[in-house]
Structure 1
């Protein structure tokens, strides 16, 4: 099974779960080898160079994919999907969902996502608009930024990931990230351990009725 990986802090709990699981070593190695930004994973899955991956939620709507109710979700705030105030309109090349969301929200400015966005936010949040916050103001719903999709080996992926959701239903149940992993991401992303841990409080992974409703509304707004 060829498993794609978004190498962002928001998926640290999933990465650690997979790393510490009893998966065959060849699958773990393929996950590390096939890590990239969302837009490139979208393309890789579409071209069948991957069996499965967490991809942009807008891309996951394609009929060719089977989806699990696992993704990257946030409610009210996300801290890492931003539009820079008083800037010229510019898409983030790493994204698909967030670029479209900026248009839905009628936000004109530079879109910035992922760990680089989180770093900017914690250093100077007054400079940015949190798109999840704006989405909640508009809809009173959470937002699904990405979703686990597969084009092959869907049942195997489902079996592997089902326990992950059970372990992450509430903040108290969430997988704890070891300090050595936090230190690595803190050093490589230039974001403090405390800011990483605070950020992960805003992220959750179980997709339910509200998240699916939000995706449906978002998709319809894109094509109006």
Structure 2
């Protein structure tokens, strides 16, 4: 079972959860080996180089709807802190897919920055627009930046996702300190940030995703080039 891991703080609760979850040693070994940023994992998933992972929401839209999706996702119901646009600058974030597209449908100008780099920028009092907050202002719905998808081992991943969204995760102090050293973000700020992240995709989030996909069509936003793959890749 090949799971692709996004090593951002927004999935720290999942990392803590899966360490204690009953899985094979091979699963956990691959989890540590296959680490990358969201847009890279999108391509790996669509080409079936990995069996599952938290995949950008836009990858479930281009070029077809992925059938193997779970109710676990990376969600902001308002300000997200880690997906931002920096005014007076320009450029997309190569690590992102959904966030670049979200900025376009919201007609937000500026350089897109995601993940721990965006969080550090925000915490250092940088001037920015929070894309999660801007989506909330427009629709009063949470935005799902990614969701746990799979293309094999259905029973295992459905059960994994279901258990994860039901469980309240407490992050040990030592793990907070380890991640603070890795990201240069204090344990206090990590804990504050995680209060903005949710993981259970409800009916409201599903409605929000449909509005996002509709906006993609209306704004003629095409498939990112890094999603190109052979037509017979998906089954």
Residue number in structure 1 paired with 2:209 = 215
Contiguous gaps of at least 5 residues in structure 1 = 168-173
Whole-angstrom distance in 2 between the partners of 1:87 and 1:32: 35
Matches within 5 A, 1:58-69: 58-61=58-61, 62-69=64-71
Whole-angstrom distance in 1 between the partners of 2:135 and 2:160: 32
Residue number in structure 1 paired with 2:22 = 22
Whole-angstrom distance in 2 between the partners of 1:210 and 1:91: 28
Whole-angstrom distance in 1 between the partners of 2:11 and 2:66: 24
- Tell me by how many angstroms 1:158 deviates: 1.1
TM-score by length of 1: 0.94
Residue number in structure 1 paired with 2:40 = 40
TM-score by length of 2: 0.89
Residue number in structure 1 paired with 2:100 = 99
Whole-angstrom distance in 1 between the partners of 2:65 and 2:192: 36
Matches within 5 A, 1:156-171: 156-167=156-167
Structure 1 vs Structure 2 CA RMSD: 1.0
Residue number in structure 1 paired with 2:89 = 87
- Tell me by how many angstroms 1:110 deviates: 0.2
Question: Does 1:196 find its partner at 2:198?
Answer: no
Q: Is the 8 A contact 1:52 1:154 kept in 2?
A: no
- Tell me by how many angstroms 1:72 deviates: 0.0
Whole-angstrom distance in 2 between the partners of 1:163 and 1:70: 10
Q: Is the 8 A contact 2:71 2:162 kept in 1?
A: no
Residue number in structure 2 paired with 1:109 = 110
Contiguous gaps of at least 5 residues in structure 2 = 219-235
**C-alpha offsets along residues 176-203 of structure 1, whole Å, 9 cap, x if unaligned?**
1111111111111110100000000000
- For structure 1, which segment, 18-27 or 73-82, has the greater mean C-alpha deviation from structure 2 after superposition? 18-27
Question: Does 1:186 find its partner at 2:188?
Answer: no
- Tell me by how many angstroms 1:76 deviates: 1.1
- For structure 1, which segment, 35-44 or 16-25, has the greater mean C-alpha deviation from structure 2 after superposition? 16-25
Matched position secondary structure for 1:58: helix
Matched position secondary structure for 1:118: helix
Residue number in structure 2 paired with 1:171 = none
